[in-house]
Amino acid sequence: MEFQRPEFLFLLIPIWILFFYSVRSKKDYFRLRIVWDRFEKPKEKLISIPDYIPSIFSYLGLSFLVLATAGPGKETRFLPQETDGIDIMVALDISGSMVNGFDFLPKNRLTVSKELLQSFVSKRELDRIGLVLFAGAAYLQSPLTSDRETLQELIETAEESKIEEQGTAIGDALLLSTFRLKSSKAKNKIILLLTDGVSNTGRMDPETASFTTRSLGIKVYSIGIGKESGNFEINYESLAEISKLTGGQFFRAESPEALESVLSEIDGLEKTPLPAKPLYVRETFFRDYLYYSAIFFGIECLFLLIPFKEFV
């Protein structure tokens, strides 16, 4: 529910301030009036009612008239066929090195990666995106979905404690992501792999997994996160080879700014091949509110026609 001209809603404030002031001061500042002889009838035949009861319908009628002027309605967006877009599986490394690396201070590598991934996901409005978390093993957190809010929450809650197995199983993460994309009918299918380490565990080595990925027409965009140091073992050459083999690209991100730039570049490289824009259909409730306004003014007229005795 939204209004095309919400600024008119501010008119409701003085209307109802005037109503409550008139009730308190026992004066009618807004009432429909009619001249007739109803007050000349015998008082014993009149029904007594509070004087503000008839006037409240005038204020309600005027309020719904204001609401109608504000343009009430509901907007619905119809997306083009999802299978014409891009299906993306995000494989995010949540191993200890992502948490304990000191080159992204004051935040750690994982926190920065999650924040920028959330921004990336919010831009891909027409694509389906899934999420795989991995450390010493790989686990599916979300299948391909268009539910942005749920996906954002899953990324936000991704922590090292979610996976008990230690290490970095890049091959397993690739294979699981590939499996989730295998039956996709999207024109383009990609895996976004974010890691800061070398594959040192898992059931499948990255090279073998990448051959499977390539055979299904899936590209891998891999991002090596962090600076090279002696604290953690790295092998960015392996990541570059995986991306080259599958037709994707390898990127280095040695700082939060560089990672943000990389994700923006990937967003520009993989544009959704949808010729049609989303269709917006607006349903207006303007007439309904006019009907309500007429009903309340009509009830007010009935009070004027029926011989009630008003009292204060």
Report DSSP letters for 256-291, one per residue.
HHHHHHHHHHHHHHS----SSPPEEEEEE-HHHHHH
Q: Is 281 a residue whose pLDDT tops 90?
A: no
Strand partners, 219: 190
Quick one: CATH architecture of 82-269? 3-Layer(aba) Sandwich (3.40)
> What residues does CATH 3.40.50.410 cover in the chain?
82-269
User: Distance of alpha carbon 221 from its chain centroid, rounded?
Assistant: 25
pLDDT digits (tens, 9 = 90+) for 232-259: 666 788 889 999 999 999 998 888 888 8
Q: Kindly report, residue by residue over 192-210, the tens digit of the pLDDT.
A: 999 987 888 888 888 899 9
Q: What per-residue confidence (pLDDT) applies to 244?
A: 92
Strands 2-3 and 219-225: unpaired
* Model pLDDT, residue 219: 93
Higher pLDDT, 185 or 45: 185
In this prediction, residues 182-191 reach a mean pLDDT of 86
Both structure tokens of 269? 């490289």
CB 274 within 8 A of CB 80: yes
Looking at the DSSP bridge assignments, the partners of residue 271 are none
Q: How much is the pLDDT for 82?
A: 47
- Please check the confidence at residue 75 and state whether its pLDDT lies above 70: yes
**In which band, very low, low, confident or very high, does the pLDDT at 286 lie, cut at 50, 70 and 90?**
confident
pTM over 0.85: no
DSSP string, 110-163: HHHHHHHHHHHHHH-TTSEEEEEEESSSEEEEEEEE--HHHHHHHHHT--GGG-
